[in-house]
Chains A and B, each alone.
Chain A
Amino acid sequence: MTTNGAVEHSFYDQVLEATPNGERLRQCLQCGDCSGICPFGYLMIHPPSRMIAQLRADRFEKVLETDTVWMCVSCYACTAVCPIQIPLTPGLMARTKEELILAGNVPTELQSALENSQRYGNPLGESPRKRADWTTGILPEVKILGKVKQKVDVLWFVGDYPSYHPRVQLITKALTKVLNALGVDFGILGPEESSDGDSQRLAGERGLFEMLAEKNGMAFSKYQFNEIITTDPHAYNAIKNEYPGLDISYPIRHYTEFLADRLDQLKPLLKHEVKARVAFHDPCYLGRANGIFDQPRAILQAIPGLELVEMSHNHKNSLCCGGGGGGMWLDGFQWEKAHVRLSEWRVSEALAAGAEILAVACPYESPRFEDAAKTVQGAGQLKVSDIAELLVEAMGN
């Protein structure tokens, strides 16, 4: 990037074109709501509204000279609050990060997650061959489509952390129990599944996102199924909203949508009380970005004995766990800048709401909140459970 006006304008144009409705950027009123609602806006040298001002003033190089855009966790708060719905998160913020990546200005932690995604198809750097290892010992055997070679009703896109992360694997196994109890005919891609790529895209690695999407598209096209369900709101967002732009179009639902539709069948199975006050954390890419607020709550309310309470930030105004948009791979970088974690803030809110259990529905959240509960004073007794785990508890197995 140079100070040359023509280059500046081409970047402006690219940002405008980067996403549907990008041209709304021209209508920015400079109200500053985006910068105010951003959970890390107070730490950014150029929060979103100021980035727009610099872009218009042909001084965007000032933004690119700084690194605080890496504080953006792509939580959609700015996009959701904008009075004229400028798509800030997928447009300006992702495009700016892309510019920094192309210039080689990438925090080291993020770099290794991106390299791992490139090479192994997952940001954790695990062997792609081991992607279905979590299924070992589960009966009835989880169908891996490449092995069983038969049509299934539902293709479960498991996701990176649900496949590999030891804590999140427990949730994956819990959901397997729920699906089996409901008699769902499902299969997984196993080693043929790659990262959905959404967080990599929002961290600015558009090319990597496309590469991963193409791999998944190839895998989808090999098998027969009626719909995709996923454990991961980021995968849900990618496959629902971004893959069609790459000619990869399949019906997809988040598992909470899928289960909410089967509540009549599910309710008789929930025989055991879960006597606890439970606060539900709306995942950014389920709630704010895709408008799914009611289904997770409907499932929780179907659990006998469970009392649902709301935290001060809820529904559209939910607070990010800090893992999105590359945040999952920028913990050290963000800690250095902030000396506070969004997950700790959220755990404090759960305590203030009197919750005994913090219920989640996104694979980034259980490890983040459980770690936060270890450091927030008084949060030692707070339990973090995925909705799938609470269902299994209520099913009594």
Chain B
Amino acid sequence: MNIVIVVKLVPDLVEELTIDTSGIALDTAWLRLIINEFDDHAIEQGILLKERGGGSVTVVAPDIEGVDDVLFTAAAKGADRLIKIKGDFAGVNNHALARAFTVVVKELQPDLVLTGVQANNDLDGSVGPLLAGCLEMPYIGYISGVSLGEGKSRVHKEYPGGLIAEMDVTLPAVLGIQAAEQPPRYVAVSKVRQMMKTSTIEERTASGLDMAGGPTVSRMFQTEAGQRATMLTGSPDEVATKLVGIFKELGVL
């Protein structure tokens, strides 16, 4: 089974996000990028499938600062091939990213493509369905369990309200992973460092990045308080005291 996992890096929310002077984009000066959490689950699911049924796992990512660490960590977990796509990915949308992934994924001729179901910076849909569209493969998202059979895969798809559907999909297909069957594993720093010495990251080059189909950002701004909202300010103690006062006023306490 030839499993390909496409991943992207997204803003790390541990750092505060600020908007640059253009007013339509994030200030990248202090921005740190981290692997999209759902993509990390996609990697874990791919490794689990390989451990259960054999095959090979290839991880593909755009060449953005921090991508080497992401790929070597995937290798330490058990990925066989690492590929980064060179190109100017700063500020590109998911349409362009999906088109860039398509060229590489087609070359790899996978039986199964996994990716995270969503990401915190998705403004124009998520990567999975866009990629499936370009590849002309079926797509199922919100997946929390995958088993592989002859030419097909049985998946668990999550629905709101705690419902789970069991579905069969003909391979090759693209799956948007909501959660791997177990939390992404920990790999020791020594193992990652070893991978940095012993494994190779292959490179491909994106021929142009076509953003067509995505939205145009006209204004980016911090959440603004609505007119009916009352913002409580002060120390935690002061806020708590004010809150108790409000509850009493409303007769809740």
Q: Which residues of A contact B (CB under 8 A)?
A: 98, 101-102, 104, 106, 108, 111, 114-115, 118-120, 125-127, 129, 205-208, 210-211
- Complex partner residue of B186 from A106, A119, A206, A210, CB under 8 angstroms: A106
Do A207 and B193 touch (CB < 8 A)? yes
Q: A129 vs B18: C-alpha distance in the bound complex, in angstroms?
A: 14
Do B14 and A125 touch (CB < 8 A)? yes
Do A111 and B30 touch (CB < 8 A)? no
Kindly identify, within residues 157 to 189 of chain B, every residue whose CB is under 8 Å from any CB belonging to chain A: 183, 185-189
Q: A119 vs B14: C-alpha distance in the bound complex, in angstroms?
A: 11
Q: A299 vs B190: C-alpha distance in the bound complex, in angstroms?
A: 42
Do B186 and A104 touch (CB < 8 A)? yes
Q: A104-B187, A120-B14, A207-B189 are in contact. List 12 more A-B contacts (CB 8 A).
A: A101-B186, A102-B190, A102-B191, A108-B183, A111-B183, A125-B14, A126-B14, A127-B16, A129-B15, A207-B190, A207-B193, A211-B189
Give B198 Cβ to nearest chain A Cβ, in Å: 15
- Could you pull out 11 A-B pairs where Cβ atoms are within 8 angstroms? A98-B188, A101-B186, A104-B187, A106-B186, A111-B183, A119-B34, A127-B14, A129-B30, A207-B190, A207-B192, A208-B189
Do A205 and B14 touch (CB < 8 A)? no
Do A104 and B185 touch (CB < 8 A)? yes
Q: Which residues of B contact A (CB under 8 A)?
A: 14-16, 30, 34, 183, 185-193
Chain B residues, CB < 8 A from A126: 14
Q: A118 vs B73: C-alpha distance in the bound complex, in angstroms?
A: 12
Chain A residues, CB < 8 A from B15: 127, 129
In the complex, which residue of chain B has the Cβ closest to the Cβ of A125? B14
Chain B residues, CB < 8 A from A98: 188
Chain B residues, CB < 8 A from A127: 14-16
Chain A residues, CB < 8 A from B34: 119
Q: A211 vs B188: C-alpha distance in the bound complex, in angstroms?
A: 11
Q: A127 vs B17: C-alpha distance in the bound complex, in angstroms?
A: 12
Q: A115 vs B183: C-alpha distance in the bound complex, in angstroms?
A: 13
Chain A residues, CB < 8 A from B16: 127
Chain B residues, CB < 8 A from A104: 185-187
**Nearest 10 interchain pairs by C-beta:** A207-B190, A207-B189, A111-B186, A208-B189, A106-B186, A127-B14, A104-B185, A101-B188, A127-B15, A211-B189
Chain B residues, CB < 8 A from A115: 186
Give A259 Cβ to nearest chain B Cβ, in Å: 30
Give B113 Cβ to nearest chain A Cβ, in Å: 25
Do B30 and A205 touch (CB < 8 A)? no
Chain A residues, CB < 8 A from B190: 102, 206-207
Q: Which of B15, B30, B190 has the most CB of A within 10 A?
A: B190
Do A114 and B186 touch (CB < 8 A)? yes
In the complex, which residue of chain B has the Cβ closest to the Cβ of A107? B186
In the complex, which residue of chain B has the Cβ closest to the Cβ of A98? B188
Q: A172 vs B69: C-alpha distance in the bound complex, in angstroms?
A: 34
